[in-house]
A = this chain, B = another copy of it.
Amino acid sequence: MAATSETPKMRDRMTTYIKTLQREITSALNTLDQDHSFKEDHWVRAEGGMGNSCTIQGGKVFEKAGVNISVVHGMLPPAAIQQMRANHSEIDYDPKSGKHLPFFAAGISLVIHPRNPHAPTMHANYRYFEIDHPPTEEGGEAKVGETPMAWWFGGGCDLTPSYLYEEDAVHFHTTTKAACDPFGPEIYPLFKKWCDEYFYITHRQEARGLGGIFFDDLSAGPHARIPEVAKKPNTPEEIFAFIQSAGNAIVPSYLPIVAKRKDTPYTDEQRRWQLIRRGRYVEFNLVYDRGTKFGLQTPGARIESILMSLPETARWEYMSEMGKEGTEEGRLMALLTTPRDWA
């Protein structure tokens, strides 16, 4: 469907969607803890745009949780444009011109670290990115209804337990798969594999967790990681519908797991193990995560929102026992070195 001046632009539709989704997620999570609820923190980006960070710290159920949205725009420098052209040949740009191009980005990002070592950490992120035609000579933005020069969606979700409950992994993956399946039977398996590859701590030779889905550069037309014969969401409408399906699956995929595990008794040793696993989480986010690295390098970025993904407490021991065979810790480790199909 071609955009007309009557159709709201995708940037506005995505903005409305993530605002609603943020409210739904925080309301749902609030039901699990009578004493602690999300605090809102609205902020404005001097360079253009706004955000809303909803957080819990030191809760009984959620040791640290953040559900952020951000809607930002500005001018993209040549180096960033060049990088993006690798996956988006439709970006009409002469690198020799040295020109900046307008961009727009809207996304929701959440990381939930429950206190109980039996309740897993969960992360999800869905985002829309646009590169627009340069402003006309007279100045001013691209007109309403004008299609962007390039646009794509990206995102994913993943589950990071300290202790393995197979039924939880099955529930998380089954719910996520069901959100993907209407858009093509290959979508979940392809994005599940991508997730296993992405959330990998190379220097530890172990996965961050039990995976979920991960994808980027999802737009109309062929995609480098999706075979041409596979069915995929292909128009802006279809892809936005897929994003909403995945976004709406966040709560049902995760909330029942926390509800079930939040009051499981645990020992100091199990808490220690959880904090060591959180150390690994910090290692992944600071050393490998593209979004974090990009954020830390961006002048004027809101560091507090970017690093909200880090756990409240993390622990590093020298040569700590990382899960012997036959222990509960060892059962998890076996799966972090050899991913399994859960759905």
Contacts and interface: CB of A to CB of B under 8 A. Distances in A.
A251 B287 CA distance: 32
* Identical chains in the assembly: 2
A12 interface: no
Interface residues of A, number: 32
A167 interface: no
A24 to B, nearest CB: 21
Interface in A33-81: 41, 53, 55, 57, 64, 66
Contact of A318 (B57, B275, B318): B57
A239 interface: no
A317 B57 contact: yes
A311 interface: yes
Interface stretch (A89-97, A176-184, A261-269, A278-286): A278-286
Interface stretch (A15-23, A225-233, A300-308): A300-308
B66 A318 contact: yes
A224 interface: no
Nearest to A313: B315
A319 B304 contact: yes
Nearest to A309: B316
Interface of A: 41, 53, 55, 57, 64, 66, 202-204, 275, 279, 282-283, 286-287, 296-297, 301, 303-304, 307-308, 310-319
